[in-house]
Structure 1
Amino acid sequence: MTRSPIRRTLLGAALLLAAVPAASAQDASTAEQTIAAMTKIFGDHPGKRSNHAKGVVVEGSFTPSADAKTLSKAGVFSGAAVPVTVRFSDATGLPQIPDGAPEANPHGLSIKFKPADGSEMDVVTNSLKTFPVATGEEFRDLLVAITKSGPGTAKPTPVEQFMAAHPNAPKALATAKTPSSFGRQVYNGVNAFILVDAAGKRTPFRYRIVPVAGEEILSADDAKAKGPNYLVEEMPARLAKAPVAFRVEAQIAQPGDSTKDATVAWPEDRRFVDLGTLTLTKAVPDSETAEKALLFMPNNLPDGVEVSDDPLIDARVQAYAISFGRRSQ
C-alpha cells in the first residue's frame, strides 16, 4: 500500500466487520476465505477480538429525551436513566497497535444498554461517516485484495484496483480522523435501523453520537508524537476527574434515502432528533477481563427498535459471534 492517508487508513477501516462470514450455509466458502485473509493480515491473537482488538471499557448511564419515546416504544427510551457499559476501541486485530497510528482509525464506540425491564440493547458505531463497502462479499474481496497488495506488488495493486472499482470506498476512508481523546470524537452508526412507536409507526434512522465537549482532532504529526497507549490511558484518567458526556442522535431518513447501502451518506439537511444523553462516569477495574466477556450484537434489540434491510447488519452479527467464540476458547 502507498503512504497516502487513505491507503494508510484502509487496513483499519476495512476490518470493521471483524471476520465477516456470509449468513447462509451455501456461502461457507466466503466465510472461510474471509477468515483466512484476516489471519494472514494480522496473525492469530488468542483471547482477542478479530478486529478492534485494543480497547478500554467504561460505565455510566443513558438518560433518554422526551422526543425519544415519541419515536420508539422501547423501554430504553421510556424516561428513566438506563445503566450502560461502553467499549472504545482502535481498529485492526493488532492488540498492541499505537493509538495514534493511521491504521488505528476508525475508532469504535459500542454501547450495551441495560434497562430495568431486561430489554437489553446494543449499539455499534465507528468514526467513519460511511462504510467502504455495502456487502459481506465486497468486504471479503477487499480483504483478499489487501493480502495480495504487499510491498513490491505490481501497480495497480489489487487493492488499488478494488478502490477504483468501488469509488465510495475512498470517500469513506477519507473521513478517518485521530482524536485527542476517545471522548472528543464523533461516532456514526453507518447502518440504518428502524424505530417503532406504540402505534406501529416505523421510522428509519441512523445513529450519530456527538461529544458534548466537541470534537477535537489531531494533526498527523501530533498524533504520531503521542504515546502508544494515549487513548486507552487517557479515558480512565479523564473519567477520574469528571464525567464524559455524548448526545445520542437519530438522523431520520426521508423517502428515497437508502437504508441498505452503508456506503452512501444521507444528506446533512435530514432531521436529527436528540434521543438522549450518554454520561460516562468510571472505567471498569479490569478492562481486559471485561473486554473478553463483552459481546455487542447489532441485532440485540428490544421491542421498538428493529434492523433494516442493510445486509451488513447480519454480516456483523455472524462475524461477532464467531469472533466471540474464538476468543472464549
Structure 2
Amino acid sequence: MPLPNDETLIALGEEILTEFEKVFGPHPGFRPAHAKGLMLTGRFTPADGATSLTRAQHVTQASTPVTVRFSNSTGLPLIPDNDAGADPRGMAIRFHLAEHVHTDIVSHSANGFPATNGTEFLEFLRAVTQPDKGKVQEFIGSHPKALAFVQSITPMPVSFAEERYFGLTAMKFTNKDGVSRFGRYLILPEAGEKHLSAEEAAGKGPDFLFNELNDRIKNEPIRFKITVQVAEDGDLVDDVTVHWPPERKMVDLGTIELAELVADNEREQKQIIFDPIPRLDGIEPSDDPLLELRAAVYLISGRRRRAVS
C-alpha cells in the first residue's frame, strides 16, 4: 500500500490528521478516528450468481479467510460505548487472498458522509474544533452535506452484530465477460437490525457493545451478508454524498461468518492498516476524490501507530 505521489494530497492528509488531534487529543498508538475497536476472524463464502457482477478472486473461489474490525467513532480509545458520540459505528473487512495479498472493505453505520472531497472534509473538521460549539451547529446548518450526514446517523445499536454498514464510495465491478458496473456495498446482519432508545442507551455500561460481542462469539458465529447496490446509467458514481434511488438492483455478493476473536487483539489492531482502495482484478476504485485521500490518511496514521512501542 504505497503513498500517492501527489504531494498536495499528502499535505492535505497531514492537515486532516492534525485536525483530528485537535478534536480528540493525541493518543499515540491508536487510530485518529474509530480508535476503540475489536477484531474477529472467520470466512467469506460467495453467493450463487455473484460472479455475474465481478471476477474478483474472493468471489470466484470457494471461500476466503477474513479479519473484521468493529469500532466506535471518534479518536478516543476509551469512549463509552453508550456515548452518543460513538456513532456511527465502523466495520472494516479484510479478505486474505494469499500471503501478504488482500483486499478490504471499509464501512460505517451511517448512510452518509459530511463532504464530497478532502477540502470540504477539512473545513468540516475545522468547524468541529471551534471553541464555540454554536459555530459547529451554524456550520452544519449552512452546509447541506454535513447536515445530511448528521441526520443519517442511526440510534445506538443493541449489538455490533445487529447493525448494518454502508461502504459509501462507489466501486467499479467487472465480471469474467468484461462487463463493468458501478456499485456500493451494503452489509446486512443476519440477526437483523436492533437499536436502543436514548433511555435504554443511558442505562448501558461503558463497554456494553464490546462485552456483548465477546459473549456472542463464544456462543454462536456472527454472520453478515455483503450486498452491492448497482448503479444505472446517469447515476453519479464519484460523489459519496449523493444517494442512488432505493429501487436500484441489489446483488448478493456472499456471506461472512465470524467464529472467534483475533489472538493478541491489541497488537494486531495496531498493526493492520485497512485500505479503502480494493487493488485487485475485478473490483476497481471509482473516481471518487475521497478514495486516494482516505488511503493516504490511513497509511500515514497507520505508520505512526506502528512506530509506537
Bin the TM-score by the shorter chain: over 0.9
| In structure 2, C-alpha distance between the alignment counterparts of 1:107 and 1:265, rounded to whole Å | 20
Q: Which residue of 1 aligns with 2:124?
A: 142
Partner in structure 2 of residue 172 of structure 1: 149
Q: Give the aligned length.
A: 304
* Structure 2 counterpart SS, 1:328: helix
Q: In the alignment, what sits opposite 1:13?
A: none
Aligned residue number for residue 83 of structure 1: 65
Map of 2:44 onto structure 1: 62
> 2:185 maps to which residue?
207
**Which 5+ residue runs of structure 1 have no aligned equivalent?**
1-20
The correspondence of residues 145-160 of structure 1 with structure 2, limited to 5 A, is: 145-150=127-132, 155=134, 157=135, 159-160=136-137
Deviation at residue 175 of structure 1 after TM alignment: 2.1
Question: Which of 156, 163, 180 matches 2:140?
Answer: 163
Partner of 1:195: 173
Change in CA separation of 1:33 and 1:116 when aligned onto 2, cut-off 3 Å: closer
Given that residues 225 and 256 in structure 2 are in contact (C-alpha distance below 8 angstroms), is that contact kept between their aligned partners in structure 1? Answer: yes
Q: TM-score if structure 1 supplies the norm length?
A: 0.88
Distance, in Å, in 2 between the alignment partners of 1:109 and 1:129 is 13
Q: Aligned pair in 2 of structure 1 residues 237, 67: CA closer, same or farther (>3 Å)?
A: same
Give the deviation of 1:241 after TM superposition: 0.1
The separation in 1 between residues aligned to 2:45 and 2:14, in whole angstroms, is 42
Give the aligned residue type for 1:172: F
Map residues 239-278 of structure 1 onto 2, 5 A cutoff. 239-278=217-256
Q: Equivalent residue for 2:7?
A: 25
Q: Distance in 2 between matches of 1:235 and 1:192?
A: 29
Identity of aligned residues (%): 39
Query: How many angstroms does 1:79 deviate by?
Result: 3.8
Evaluate the alpha carbon distance shift between residue 188 and residue 26 of structure 1 in structure 2; reply closer, same or farther with a 3 A threshold: closer
Structure 2 gap ranges (5+) = none
Determine if contact 1:119/1:302 at 8 Å carries over to the other structure.
no
Aligned match of 1:18: none
Q: Report the Cα distance in structure 2 between the residues aligned to 1:27 and 1:312, rounded to whole angstroms.
A: 10
Over 3 Å counting, the alpha-carbon distance change for 1:245 and 1:147 in structure 2 is: same
SS class of match (2:152): coil
Letter in 2 for 1:325: R
TM-score by length of 2: 0.93
1:296 aligned partner: 274
Amino acid at match of 1:81: S
Is the contact made by 1:119 and 1:301 (CA closer than 8 Å) also made in structure 2? no
Q: What per-residue deviation string (whole Å, max 9, x for no partner) do you get for residues 132-171 of structure 1?
A: 21111011001111111435xxx5x1x2333233212222
Alpha-carbon displacement from aligned partner over 1:20-75 (angstroms, at most 9, x marks no partner): x9973135653443232221111111111111000000011110012111211111
Contact 1:75/1:117 (<8 A) preserved: no
The answer to whether the Cα contact below 8 Å between 2:14 and 2:297 also exists between their aligned partners in 1 is no
Secondary structure of the 2:153 match is coil
Aligned match of 2:54: 72
- Taking the TM superposition and a 5 Å limit, the aligned residue runs for 1:73-112 are 73-112=55-94
Q: Distance in 1 between matches of 2:101 and 2:49?
A: 20
- Displacement of 1:238 after TM fit? 0.2
**Matched residue of 1:289: which SS?**
helix
Shift of residue 117, structure 1, vs aligned partner: 8.6
Provide the residue aligned with 1:4 in structure 2. Answer: none
User: What amino acid maps onto 1:195 in structure 2?
Assistant: F
Q: Distance in 1 between matches of 2:249 and 2:66?
A: 26
For residues 83-131 of structure 1, the C-alpha deviation after alignment (integer angstroms, 9 at most, x for no partner) is 1000000000000000111100110000000135975210000001121
Q: Is the Cα contact below 8 Å between 1:23 and 1:318 reproduced in 2? A: no
2:267 and 2:100 map into 1 onto residues whose CA distance is 23
| Equivalence for 1:44 | 26
Given that 2:174 and 2:181 are in contact with CA atoms closer than 8 Å, whether structure 1 keeps it comes out as: yes
Q: Which residue of 1 aligns with 2:293?
A: 315
